[in-house]
């Protein structure tokens, strides 16, 4: 699992960059990006793409060398906002980033990629579904109409096209053995001819999906291994990522997709995966959410106090990464991910607010992520229109007694009664004025608490280092 470093460890304003075009871009590409990509990546990322494009002169593929101060001044944005916009371009396949380090200096190569064709986008299997969920059915159909036209009916026509040899005369045998023209056509060393490259399809790595577990649940007689072609495996990885399907549920989807000839058709696989997700999520499709708290909803840029440093961390990390950090780098439990996804999907809370919710619920429920308890608080925060980490923390403070009552109501006589290892007080921002509340933790829960404390200390230090660097 790739763990994203804080942006200031990866990029600095003084770092230089050069833009390269991976093939020529056309005016039609701009229409595709504006209509199909921009709803997914937002205006900042779209503007960054066009700005990098414009740094390359017409009919050239390289720009001059610039530094990131140039982009900060041009957009009037801070470096983190530009960095997050760049990540979206990378993730959606519009940008490849390369870095070269020479001592203390760092140079980036930003290679712009052409967008998918309209046909490629609407048949992608990921981007089209995210766009449908993002803009709704009505607007989606309007956009599709914008990029479609009536088929030409050639059934009553007979092709009458002449071939090359019908039009052009032969040059003779001497010209055929003359290599001068062929050599002259080759580009010079370290040069390349201008070309229109094929766009990059969205690819999901197979590392996140357990194919061995899938195979273990499917006997060779039931599903021959030959049906798992590279194309089928890529589709399974993509669908598993898109719909959060584990190997156990994927087994049933594969079986439902197998035809009488023991062949798996990609379209059938997509249909069965979509049906599974909609059945599990009340007929809803997955939606694209920001990896971290949106820039406009952040409140801390230079943390000073203990609470500000905690807020800064919660604003800078995604809910998924927060759970990974809590698991000491391991993959979060599927039940925990599903609980968080359900809250993100149903309550429309921002990622930073979800982080506060995870933090609070774990500390109030013996370091366990109770789905029902989290959903109840999330519903309250959604009604209160909580948008920022600071608002979530303040509300948790003011409603502490009410939330404690809800926590007590969910306890049953079947709870574990492990021997307590220690008694832990809640963090300062969770305390009531009357004093601290005690939570009894067993060994596993205590290990989680220590990791949570270590995570906070780690990001407080990094936040402080960043603050010092900016002064």
Q: How confident is the model at residue 110 (pLDDT cuts 50, 70, 90)?
A: very high
Query: What pLDDT, in 10s, does the model give residues 207-263?
Result: 567 888 888 888 777 788 888 888 888 888 878 877 778 888 888 898 888 888 888
Which is more confidently placed, 60 or 40? 40
pTM, 2 dp:
0.51
330 exposure class (CB count in 10 Å sphere: 0-12, 13-18, 19+): exposed
Closest CA to 428 of 381, 396, 463: 396
Which of 169-178, 183-192, 280-289 has maximum average pLDDT? 183-192
Closest CA to 404 of 345, 361, 343: 361
- What gap in Å lies between CA 133 and CA 453, rounded to an integer? 37
DSSP state of 23: S
Report strand pairing: 105-112 vs 16-21. Answer: parallel
Please say if the pLDDT value at position 360 is more than 80. yes
| pLDDT score at 323 | 79
| Residue with the two structure tokens 């503007």 | 47
DSSP state of 65: -
Which is more confidently placed, 161 or 324? 161
Query: What pLDDT, in 10s, does the model give residues 66-91?
Result: 999 999 998 888 888 899 899 999 98
Q: Which of 42-46, 381-385, 420-424 has the lowest average pLDDT?
A: 420-424
| Residue with the two structure tokens 């995210």 | 130
State phi, psi for 347 to the nearest 5 degrees. -100, -10
Helix, strand, or coil (residue 15): coil
Helix, strand, or coil (residue 248): helix
Mean pLDDT of 454-466: 51
Q: What percent of the chain has pLDDT over 90?
A: 12
Question: Tokens representing 364?
Answer: 């109030």
Helix, strand, or coil (residue 219): coil
Question: Tokens representing 412?
Answer: 């049953």
DSSP characters over 367-417: T---HHHHHHHHHHHHHTT--SHHHHHHHHHHTHHHHHHHHHHH--TTS--
| pLDDT score at 449 | 64
Contacts of 117 (CB under 8 A, 6+ apart): 32, 199
Closest CA to 433 of 385, 463, 398, 402: 398
Q: Are 129 and 286 in contact (CB under 8 A)?
A: yes
| pLDDT score at 198 | 64
Query: What pLDDT, in 10s, does the model give residues 366-387?
Result: 677 777 888 888 888 888 888 8
DSSP state of 418: P
């Amino acid at each position: 699992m790739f763990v994203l470093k804080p942006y200031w460890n990866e990029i600095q304003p003084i770092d230089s960059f050069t833009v390269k075009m991976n093939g020529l871009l056309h005016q039609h590409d701009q229409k595709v990006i504006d209509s199909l990509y921009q709803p997914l990546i937002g205006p900042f990322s779209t503007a960054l793409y066009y700005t990098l494009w414009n740094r390359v002169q017409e009919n050239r593929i390289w720009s001059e060398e610039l530094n990131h101060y140039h982009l900060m001044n041009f957009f009037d944005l801070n470096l983190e906002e530009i960095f997050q916009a760049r990540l979206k371009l990378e993730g959606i396949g519009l940008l490849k980033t390369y870095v070269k380090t020479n001592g203390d200096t760092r140079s980036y190569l930003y290679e712009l990629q052409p967008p998918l064709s309209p046909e490629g986008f609407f048949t992608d299997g990921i981007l089209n579904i995210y766009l449908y969920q993002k803009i709704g059915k009505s607007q989606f159909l309007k956009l599709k109409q914008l990029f479609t036209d009536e088929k030409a009916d050639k059934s009553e026509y007979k092709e009458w096209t002449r071939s090359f040899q019908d039009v052009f005369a032969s040059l003779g045998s001497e010209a055929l053995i003359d290599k001068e023209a062929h050599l002259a056509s080759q580009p010079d060393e370290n040069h390349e001819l201008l070309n229109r490259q094929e766009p990059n399809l969205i690819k999901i790595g197979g590392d996140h999906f357990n194919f061995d577990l899938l195979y273990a649940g499917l006997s060779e007689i039931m599903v021959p291994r030959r049906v798992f072609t590279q194309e089928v495996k890529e589709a399974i990885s993509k669908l598993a990522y898109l719909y959060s399907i584990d190997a156990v549920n994927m087994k049933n989807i594969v079986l439902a997709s197998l035809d009488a000839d023991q062949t798996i058709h990609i379209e059938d696989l997509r249909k069965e995966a979509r049906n599974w997700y909609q059945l599990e999520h009340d007929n809803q499709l997955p939606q694209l959410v920001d990896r971290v708290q949106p820039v406009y909803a952040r409140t801390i840029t230079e943390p000073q106090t203990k609470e500000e440093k905690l807020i800064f961390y919660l604003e800078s990390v995604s809910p998924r990464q927060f759970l990974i950090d809590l698991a000491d780098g391991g993959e979060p439990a599927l039940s925990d991910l599903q609980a968080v996804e359900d809250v993100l999907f149903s309550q429309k809370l921002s990622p930073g607010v979800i982080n506060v919710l995870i933090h609070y619920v774990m500390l109030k429920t013996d370091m366990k992520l109770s789905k029902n308890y989290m959903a109840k608080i999330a519903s309250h925060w959604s009604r209160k229109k909580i948008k920022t980490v600071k608002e979530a923390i303040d509300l948790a403070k003011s409603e502490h007694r009410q939330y404690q009552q809800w926590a007590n109501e969910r306890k049953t006589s079947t709870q574990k009664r492990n021997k307590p290892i220690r008694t832990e007080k809640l963090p300062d921002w969770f305390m009531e004025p009357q004093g601290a509340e005690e939570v009894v933790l067993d060994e596993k829960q205590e290990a989680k608490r220590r990791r949570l404390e270590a995570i906070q200390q780690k990001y407080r230090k990094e936040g402080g280092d960043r603050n010092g660097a900016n002064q």
